[in-house]
A and B are shown apart, each in its own frame.
Chain A
Amino acid sequence: MAEINLVQAINLALAHAMTDDPSVLVLGEDVGLDGGVFRATDGLFARFGAQRVFDTPLSEALIAGMSIGLAAQGFRPVAEIQFTGFVYPTIDQMANHASRLRTRTRGRLTCPMVLRSPCGGGIHAPEHHSESPEAMFAHIPGLRVVIPSSPARAYGLLLAAIRDPDPVVFLEPSRLYRATHETVADDGEALPLDRSFVLREGGDVTLIAWGAMVQEALAAAEELEASGIDAEVIDVATLKPLDTATILASVCRTGRCVIAHEAPLTGGFGGEIAARIVERGLVSLLAPVERVAGYDTVMPLPRLEQYYLPNATRIVAAARRARAYA
């Protein structure tokens, strides 16, 4: 079995799901012959044909809205939004329709669709290609929000998202698309959509992250280990619904935590996690919850992006502050 990267894992999961289930369709801009601008849908057009893989006209509102119609009709559309800055028009469709079709019709019509989009910075992309909109989607009741951070988790989570009976927003950190390789068995095994992953065990401080920040948290943990601090790392790959239990169990043991995300601090999903920790775990806390996040600024263009993106150094500093707290 060859080692594959994250975008190849996405491709593998799509192909697996399409083979398993003829109702799975792929649609979006340039997903056909071109195979998607990141090549996530590479080869699917040749393999599954024009009846299942569609290049749509250029409209994100259309892509999301049509997916809702398809889903209500029993298909399982997997829609691709080409770059993160272009998901915003889909919020109308996702908030007003995808997320509430089941509720509005009391279960008569449902919306088993997946909205895939790259997210995050770090690849020196043009303007509007590096944002992290996960909290906007996580704020919408009725949606699931997933962000994988490794090839294997991308594979298992995407399969789960496609099989899930409700709409899933599936955000793929573009920085990780080709960053790491691992062996992924194409066994069709899905991962749970409501479970955080403990990637590293440690008793001194809990590092909580998702997306590209997971790599930074793991690097931070290595660095902390060198100075005798034992960090636990949790990948909150399923932001919504949130697996509070795993987070609380860890923080109750360590008493200290750092939450890292790329999205701007204010209104970021880290605030929600911090609130839950405080609500249910206050007595176990030995230090204030630390958040390491993007600044409350517009995502800068590439020349400054490295100074915007949180990194292992900032996570380490925050962990040390938490450690040093009396």
Chain B
Amino acid sequence: MRDVEDDVVAQFDVRLRRCLDAAGVPISALPGFAEDVRELVALYRGMVRTRQFDAKAIALQRTGRLGTYASSLGQEAVAVGAASAMQPDDVLLPSFREHGAQLWRGVSMLELLLYWGGDERGSRFHETRQDFPVCVPVGSHAPHAAGVALALKLRGEGRAALCIYGDGATSKGDVDEALNVAGVWLLPAVFLISNNQWAISVPRARQSAAETLAQKGIAAGLPCIQVDGNDVIAMRDTVGRALQRARAGAGASVVEALTYRLGDHTTADDASRYRKDAEVSPHWAEEPIARLRAYLAKVGAWHREDEERLLIEIGAEVETAASVYLATPPQPVESMFDFTYAALPAALIEQRSAAVSEAGTPEARHG
């Protein structure tokens, strides 16, 4: 293809950022925030919260009390690290596997359970009012992130949008289109690929022939970087810099977090149909929680009592959320209508009444 005399007109490289190795040993100088172990303990707590929540959600689904659920087992550092780099007034546009980011941002466990249990109130968010709900149609929220970022830019607010999606999502046109406009218009957005190596049964290598997914941003003129997604310190640092850049008006960037989906795609999936245990098990050695715990223990900031206390505290939070969830009656039938438009159009009044009377009394319904 290439002739030696041809001029090189553009050249790119993609770098990988790592702070801790799989055993929790620093590879390079840690970023400033890591000097304060309280910051690291907070990240640790965020990841443990995420994993405990996950385990409960799966248990509820397995016993018929929650809908299909997408576990984030092994990917906690991506979500928690990224969310911890956000300012409260930045805007999060997650896909459906970033429970850790949502929890960090103030979405409650109850809300998450409601959503995954099939109740729209789970997306109502008492906190973090501008964050987008989970996005199920893969990648279709990337253009929303561009729109949010444009709004923030038009108002000159120095805020940024963070959009998270998977390796599979990078194959969608919507995602490329969003990156493209974010490049041309210098939008304050960060596009974070949570590359867990699988899109249901399709491995990363069958999704794209590109060496990295980060480089998909290069064609849009965006700075691109890979980061060890199981290293929460590197995650926070990398996404933090990208967000900082966006808030400062220097434009969007793409971050590809390398992680691994340790569980099934969702509770409706059986991964043993398409991947072997032998492929999965080595990745347990790289998982993010043990890694940070090893580091914290080494610097004397984490002891067995701390771990025990944390597990008890979070266990209680999870159990409380689950029991409130289980005791929450479904919404009234008319709620189907009441949020379709700002005000109920006259044309819907008759349907609404019919729905209410057909559903019968609440006692008849749930008795």
Task: Please give the residue numbers on chain B whose beta carbons come within 8 Å of chain A beta carbons, in ascending order.
Answer: 67-68, 115-120, 134, 136-139, 168-169, 171-173, 199-202, 206-208, 268-269, 273-274, 330-331, 333, 335-337, 340, 347-348, 351-352, 355, 358-359
Contact = CB atoms under 8 A, between A and B. Distances in A.
A301 interface: yes
Given A37-B268, A124-B118, A62 B274 contact: no
A44 B340 CA distance: 42
Contacts of A57: 168, 171, 202, 206-208
A283 interface: no
Contact of B67 (A58, A86, A296, A302): A302
A34 interface: yes
B201 A32 contact: yes
B68 to A, nearest CB: 5
Contact of A265 (B201, B269, B351): B351
Nearest to A60: B172
A307 B273 contact: no
B336 A307 contact: yes
Contacts of B337: 295, 297
Given A295-B355, A296-B348, A314-B358, 8 more contacts: A30-B200, A55-B201, A58-B172, A58-B202, A85-B137, A297-B337, A301-B67, A301-B119
Contact of B358 (A55, A301, A313): A313
A106 interface: no
Nearest to B336: A297
Contacts of A37: 200, 268-269
B335 A304 contact: yes
Interface hub of A29, A58, A314 (most chain B Cβ within 10 A):
A58
A295 B345 CA distance: 13
A34 B336 contact: no
A303 B330 contact: yes
A298 to B, nearest CB: 6
B206 A55 contact: yes
17 contacts: A29-B200, A29-B202, A33-B274, A34-B274, A58-B168, A58-B169, A59-B172, A129-B136, A295-B348, A297-B340, A301-B115, A302-B117, A303-B330, A304-B335, A304-B336, A307-B355, A308-B355
A59 to B, nearest CB: 5
A228 interface: no
Contact of B136 (A33, A127, A314): A127
Nearest to A38: B268
Nearest to B335: A304
A307 B362 CA distance: 12
A62 B174 CA distance: 12
Contacts of B202: 29-30, 55, 57-58
A126 B97 CA distance: 13
Interface hub of A129, A302, A303 (most chain B Cβ within 10 A):
A303
A30 B207 CA distance: 12
Interface string A22-62: 00000001101111010000000000000000010111011
Nearest to B120: A301
A37 B273 CA distance: 11
A104 interface: no
A54 B202 CA distance: 11
B200 A303 contact: no
Nearest to A265: B351
A59 B120 contact: no
A178 interface: no
B200 A304 contact: no
A297 B356 CA distance: 14
Interface string A139-173: 00000000000000000000000000000000000
Contacts of A127: 134, 136
A125 interface: yes
